[in-house]
Structure formats: structure tokens, C-alpha cells
Amino acid sequence: MVDFAGDWKLHKSEKFEDFLKSIDVGMLKRQAAKLISSEHHITQDGDKMSVEVIATGQKGKHQEYTVGGTFGETEITGDVTEVSTEWDGDKIKETHKCAAFTYTLVRELQDNDTMVLHLDSPKGTQCKRVYKRM
């Protein structure tokens, strides 16, 4: 089983603004999101995950879940989503569902020092967020 534990800092994003636009995030929030640096502080015990997300100038979030289960969170749009999780080989797939949209996020380790989040919007817009180990 892959171990995502560690401290990760956003290194680069590809098509993040396009992804946000595809889930109807307004222009001002999209512009602000481009400027934000984020960190993920992850602890993992088997299937149990704890992810603390810290974003400069924004309210952070804390996710605690067991892979194979669900949890709730509030998206950047303000929508409350139900997030279902599952293992997909060595990756964790999250499906975020709310009344307005559904999207997927796949977390994978590219190597020991690189974690990649792949986001796929309901309109087919794909985004990649690359994090480096701190």
C-alpha cells in the first residue's frame, strides 16, 4: 500500500483556473486562487487518512476519512459536498458530489518526492496540481 504521509507544498498547477471555471467559480475567486500557495500535511495509518490543507490567505480545511468511506466538506463555491473515497490501485480516488456538480480528484505519488492531484470536472476539464515534499 502506498503511503502519502508527509508535508507537501504546491509546486505547480496546470489548467487550475479552467477547472474552477468549469465548476462555476466566479472570476474574483478564480483570480485569487491562482495566487494562493497551498500545503497538504498528511498522516496515514493504513486506510485512515488525515489531510490538513493550509492555503495562504484562505481558510484551511481538515479532512479525516477512511479510504472506502465518505465524508463531507465545503467546496470553494460554497457548495456542501459528499465525498466518497476508494483505492484505485496505488491511487486514492475521491468523488465530490453536490446538487450543482460532481467531480473527481485522484491523488497519486509520482515518486517519493512528488504527489500529483488530478481533477476532472463534469464538463471534462482536467487539471493537474503538483506538490513537492517539504
Residues found in the chain: 134
Distances (CA, A) of 55 to 14, 68, 71, 97: 18, 27, 21, 23
In eight-state DSSP terms, residue 23 is: T
| pLDDT interval class at 81 (50, 70, 90) | very high
pTM: 0.89
Distance CA 39, CA 107 (A): 14
Distance CA 9, CA 1 (A): 23
Q: What is the pLDDT of residue 34?
A: 73
Q: Provide mean pLDDT across the span 17-38.
A: 82
| Per-residue pLDDT tens digits for 100-120 | 889 999 999 999 999 999 999
| Per-residue pLDDT tens digits for 36-66 | 789 999 999 999 999 999 987 667 789 999 9
